[in-house]
Structure 1
């Protein structure tokens, strides 16, 4: 909000398979980054990626949605329907999320976009958030790059603030302080600059 110079942003969450929005942030009492609370009649849970068990507060997993709003299935595609909706009628959204002690939900990333760095599943949005917290970074995008040793390594694309002279190595050092699972000798995150395409 500070970057955009506004006092309030309303977040909503929904997907085609849920037919309408599933969550919305209220104008009063919402927390930054939260997509708010469930619509009436909707249920959700956070599903552990390994065990498929329900997770508690502040634990990240796949968001599952349930309710009368969930589609019946994909047209003429029972295989895709079976992979999206489980036997208990939970729609697996493919989104990584967690909820807090007040029941507010936070979307972290897309499950398919996770970077498999050695034994760690890295959410690109986590690194993007760290990069965007640097005052000399205007915009950032992170994706995975195949690596023979680690499986994948994060690669970041950076747009610097106008007039900034910060180097890739300085940005890498900044990220390493925040990202604990990178080894201490790993400062080879391939950071690149790209030009924002303006209309």
Structure 2
């Protein structure tokens, strides 16, 4: 399917109400700190499908070398051999925190609300709409440089193809720059939704 057609269909399914219902900003509660000690500091977040074609190991490798703050990766790590291999390697890592996708929506939104940066590693169209939701929640985004990701973000995100490129972006990212990218992501998705829903 043509990338533009896929994105248009995905955006049409995403009414403002659906996004509002699904993407709420949540504050950190005491119980969250107990479950997720990394919440005391800066962290990156990734919601992904552990498929070999998504090259998640490139992202993990980049974060290990960067060694500044942890990456919280939500995915079904038991789904296939690739995910299992990543789990085996990183389950005890201080920098890579692997989380099962079966978490409550409130917990997911709390993790999204408070992350410093959102990483999207999908190489193809993302049927889960996680990138679209991250944009709607005003998260600064570093995405794999695929046609889908570039088109959806209208080239307004930060992009990488290799772990070294990812590290360069991470090193360049001071808080005000990250915040500006977040605002840009929200504006980008809001204008796309507005145009499409005005047309229908």
TM-score by length of 1: 0.28
Structure with greater contact order relative to length (CA < 8 Å, sep ≥ 6): 2
Decide which structure has greater strand share. 1
Give 1 or 2: higher helix fraction.
2
- Look at both structures and tell me which one has the larger radius of gyration over its CA atoms: 1
